[in-house]
Structure 1
Amino acid sequence: MSSPSAPGATTEIWRFEAIGTRWEVGSAHALTAGDRAAVADVIESFDHAWSRFRDDSAVTALAHSGGEIPAPIDTDLLLSRLAEIADATGDAVSPLVGGVLARRGYDAEMTLTDRGAEPAPPWRDVLSWTSDTLSLSRPATIDVGALGKGRLVDIVHGVLAERVTGPLLVDASGDLRVSGADLRVALEHPYDSTRAIGVVTISAGAVCASAVNRRRWGPGLHHVLDARTGQPVRTIAATWAFAPDALTADAIATALFFDGGPEIAHRWGVEWVRMTTDGRVEWSPDNPADLFLRADTVAS
């Protein structure tokens, strides 16, 4: 998804790097030092809980030794939603895909050294949680990347919405949430960043995108892996999901790479667009985007 133009009434843009990606916050007035500190605090708290790239995170501690720890922030929300996506996709999406990604080279050290495909462990036999605890019966690597960035966008948006007035945009490199003004977003062609396959205009809610041309390394390797096999997705090139909140949109954008994705999108009431690797485009019945397509390239 190409960078959106900020809502018309938003005049101040704050750009920064966090959790390994680029963020933009658009607001009607410049954010104060206190506003920015509040954002930094919630990002640090979330990252300290869920980042598998940090030595001091909760999920890294479990990856080393298993066992039980106090539930980090949003444990039940994140893992319950991930479990629904796993059920819908036949476990192609798994909360224990972290070790699979690391084995293919997308590890904490970013070695980008492929050690071969390996399925994720059966997460239902290994992982459990309550509102108070998070447990692994043996060491394994939890990864909430299927929806975690979307959730963090929601958290940042919520913090700022309580502190500032007027239009607000929070954009974390493809996962965004807006309120208070119309925002026009281009759906970037996954094979040509100078082109869009369509545009969508939203005034409140979230748009999340994912594509296999992002975070690529090695021959045919990218970050969207089938947890059942450890192999990269080969049939879907890019997805876009439109929902009231970014967690939901991010989760569906991930699920759409697999069979079962459109069905759970329908159950959750999420509209979507996706493009296959052979150039066809599919979309939900009430998709809000205006698509720029030839009739012979479309599959509805």
Structure 2
Amino acid sequence: MPVTGWEGFPFLGIGTEWEISTPLPLTAPLRVRLLDRVARFDAAWSRFRADSLVAEMARKPGRYRFPDEAAALGRLYSTLYGLTGGAMTPLIGASLERLGYDPAYSLRPAGPPLPAPAWESVLSWSGADVAASAPVVLDIGAAGKGLLVDLLAAELEAAGAGSFIIDASGDLLVRGPDPISVALEHPYNPAQAIGVVQLAGRALCASAANRRAWGDGLHHVLDGTTGQPVRTAVATWALADTAMLADALATALFFVPGPVLQEEFDFSWLTVFSDGSAAYSAAFEGTLFS
């Protein structure tokens, strides 16, 4: 999302398009550090490459040391796993692969929906140490892109950047004094907007059933207790201080009403349901079009 007069740094990372916009061009060494951060994240967490830590865990049980960011990620997933009754889980990877969202992107179901294994029966996640008693396919897609946004923001801030926008294919983090206007994409027509948000100093992340969708009613937001795609909500937006939290809560809104999540987290939100109705928090920063 370029700003007039700002410099954009576009690149590909973790299978999607990114752009970092800043008032002044990023130096070449900083660009190298940012791309290295993306590469290291992908090497640890990708389930789409055979040489990642996640892929190794899928082949062989045991104890694995993940990068330091695993500690905060594990705590967040553990909390949301409990709040959603196991519906939102990092163990959803095998369920996604069963329905065709596999490393080869076959997009062809290999069988009926597969519930995710119970966290407490196979997984121990303590800090950056993750242990599995059986081969498991971790998938941190519900929070991982937001986490990487935050890691890149930390690199920019360490280099002295005070104002920037990180656009991870529509998941946004804005730092600086001036707000930017962000359109909220219509869940059934990407060419239309259902509203607009003035975003400043926070992250805005969205999740929608029309993104990463294939086949007859198949999409990437699965209920871990059944392995089936969620049918009630069709699009969600969450605003929070960090992109990891906004990203994760945008997915959690598919399973749990916003007011329940607000008892645990400080964020604002919007959910659009399959019947065309919408619900949103009192402090939601956006304006919905009539």
TM over 0.5: yes
Q: Distance in 1 between matches of 2:264 and 2:253?
A: 13
Match in the other structure for 1:17: 12
Aligned length, in residue pairs: 288
Correspondence for 1:298:
none
Q: Which amino acid aligns with 2:238?
A: A
Pick the aligned partner of 2:121 from 102, 119, 125.
125
Unaligned stretches of 5+ residues in structure 2: none
Contact 2:69 2:128 (C-alpha < 8 Å) held by counterparts: no
User: Which amino acid is the alignment partner of residue 173 of structure 2?
Assistant: R
Name the amino acid aligned to 1:144. Answer: I
2:132 corresponds to which of 126, 133, 136: 136
The Cα of 1:133 is off from its aligned counterpart by 2.1
Aligned partner of 1:203 in structure 2 is 200
CA distance in 2, matches of 1:129, 1:43: 23
1:28 maps to what in 2? 23
1:62 Cα deviation after fit:
0.6
> Which blocks of at least 5 consecutive residues in structure 1 are unaligned?
294-300
Given that 2:195 and 2:286 are in contact with CA atoms closer than 8 Å, whether structure 1 keeps it comes out as yes
For the residues of structure 2 that align with 1:88 and 1:41, how far apart are their CA atoms?
A: 35
Q: How far apart, CA to CA, are the structure 2 residues paired with 1:259 and 1:117? A: 21
- State the identity %: 44
Q: CA deviation at 1:260?
A: 4.8
Q: Does 1:216 align with 2:221?
A: no
Preserved CA contact (<8 Å) 1:82 1:146: no
> Counterpart of 2:200 in structure 1: which amino acid?
S
Query: Partners of 2:258 and 2:134 in 1: how far apart?
Result: 30
1:285 and 2:290 equivalent?
no
CA contact (8 A) 1:49 1:73 kept: no
Q: How does 1:214-293 map to 2 (within 5 A)?
A: 214-293=211-290
Two-structure CA RMSD over aligned residues (Å): 1.4
Indicate yes or no: 2:45 matched with 1:50. yes
Pair 1:170-2:166 in alignment: yes
The residue aligned with 2:32 is: 37
Name which structure has the greater RCO, CA cutoff 8 Å, separation 6+: 1
Contact 1:58 1:72 in 2 (8 A): no
Question: Take 2:248 and 2:220, find their aligned partners in 1: how far apart are those partners?
Answer: 15
Asked if 2 retains the 8 angstrom alpha-carbon contact of 1:71 and 1:129, the reply is no
The answer to whether the 8 Å contact 2:72/2:127 transfers is no
The amino acid of 2:8's aligned partner reads: I
Q: Which amino acid is the alignment partner of residue 202 of structure 2? A: G
Cα deviation, 1:240-261, whole Å, max 9, x if unaligned, reads: 0001110110111010001355
1:107 aligns with 2:102: yes
Q: Which string of whole-angstrom CA distances, capped at 9 and with x for unpartnered residues, describes residues 7-64 of structure 1?
A: 45x5111111111111011000111211111111111111111111111111110111
Residues 166 and 135 of structure 1: CA distance in aligned 2, closer, same or farther (over 3 Å): closer
> TM-score with structure 1 length normalisation?
0.92
**Contact 1:252–1:265 under 8 Å retained in 2:** no
Does 2:75 match 1:80?
A: yes
